[in-house]
Amino acid sequence: MNAVQTKAPLVSAEEIEQFRKDGFLVVENLFSQAQIDGLLARFDSLYAGEFETGIFPDEWHWNPYTGCVEVAGQMTGVWRCDRTLASIVMSETAGQIAATLEGWTGTRLLTDGLWQKPPKAKETTLHQDSMYINSHTPVGETTTCWVALSNAFPGASTIEYVPGSHRWPRSGAVPEFHNKNKSYLSQMEAAAKQAGNEDPQVVQMKLEPGSCVFHHGNIWHGSGKNIMDVVRRSLVIIHVPADSKFQTADAYIPGGYIAAKYRRHGDDTMDESFFPIVWREDGYRTPFLDSYHS
């Protein structure tokens, strides 16, 4: 079934301008409380390895059997594991907003991520998503929709941004997200200095469940230590332009992280089986989606 075109713009010209200036934009109540509750009901089961479809995620860092307490959990590529989660990740509206903010004619899902940060969980090093999402062309073009699944607020390891840092040059990959000896801001600060910014400001977001932030692939972001007595839960939806291709490569794409695993040799196609198109301005949407998560 093709998408029903939304007639009214989902974001205003002012919001687009704000996104271009800051590198991020808050969109409140993108998902309903019922949708969020449905996903939260699956959350602990997913981390415990109970996958509705029987398919394991691309990444699964932390489980209740062998994981340390007070440590962040991260899963990637979870849409294949659970159709309730997929129904949110494949959101046509989120895809359309991403395209509108970026000026794309359509949006393709690259991957998703499910995060939890329990009390005392350490900081997540500030980084740029484009450090890890560089298997495709146009190079570095990616947008993330960060969805609060619990109340996100300062002190509780909410997402934080350096406004305007998406205009800095792209840096090399941050080697470790989760545990490190250096300050979680240090690599961002080094990049700021290189960009001529001696005093970068970090903004911590306040969001209710179901609200989200769309952020540019080059913006520096991360999260602080969770010093509150709450578990922060969030979902990320990572988009690339619908007409993206894999970069030309020989035997493999260096730094291909997860996406490049799905590249076929001698073929630059990003197969919709793995990277479905969630919205396109001509109404096209990858056909299997509607039967998959309905």
Partner 1 sequence: MNITAEQKEHFEQQGFVIINDLLNIEQTEQIIERCDRLFHTQFETGIYPDEWYGRPGPSQPNATRQMTGLWRCDRTLASFTLSSAIAHLNATLMGWTSARYGLDTFWAKPPDAPSLYFHRNSTYTSAIDPAIAPTCWIALNDTTLENSPLEIVPKSHLWHTAKRKIRFLHAPPEDYRIPLWQAASEANLPDPTIVPIELSAGSAIVLHGNLWHGSGKNNSPTKTRQSLSITTLNGQAKYQPPGSGNGYIFDRYRMFNSLDLHESYYPILWQENSYRTPFLQDYCQDALAADSTFADSASTAIRS
Footprint of partner 1 on this chain (CB under 8 A)? 48-49, 51, 53-56, 58-63, 65-68, 71-73, 77, 80, 173, 175-176, 178-179, 250-258, 260-267, 271-274, 288
Q: What type of residue is 212?
A: C
> Which residue number, 1 or 251, has a Cβ lying nearer to partner 1?
251
| Burial label, 151 (beta-carbon count in 10 A; 0-12, 13-18, 19+) | middle
For residue 159, which of 84, 213, 211 has the smallest C-alpha distance?
213
- Beta-carbon contacts of residue 7 (< 8 Å; ≥ 6 apart): none
Least distance from C-beta 286 to partner 1, angstroms?
Answer: 8
Least distance from C-beta 110 to partner 1, angstroms?
Answer: 14
Sole residue written with tokens 């590529």 = 77
The Cα–Cα gap between 290 and 51 comes to: 20
Whether 104 contacts 210, CB under 8 Å: no
Least distance from C-beta 121 to partner 1, angstroms?
Answer: 10
> Which residue number, 59 or 281, has a Cβ lying nearer to partner 1?
59
> Which residue number, 224 or 256, has a Cβ lying nearer to partner 1?
256
Q: Torsion angle, CA of 218/220/225/227, rounded to 10 degrees?
A: -100
For residue 142, which of 55, 234, 238, 231 has the smallest C-alpha distance?
238
Least distance from C-beta 50 to partner 1, angstroms?
Answer: 9
Sole residue written with tokens 């560089």 = 134
> Which residue number, 272 or 281, has a Cβ lying nearer to partner 1?
272
> Which residue number, 103 or 254, has a Cβ lying nearer to partner 1?
254
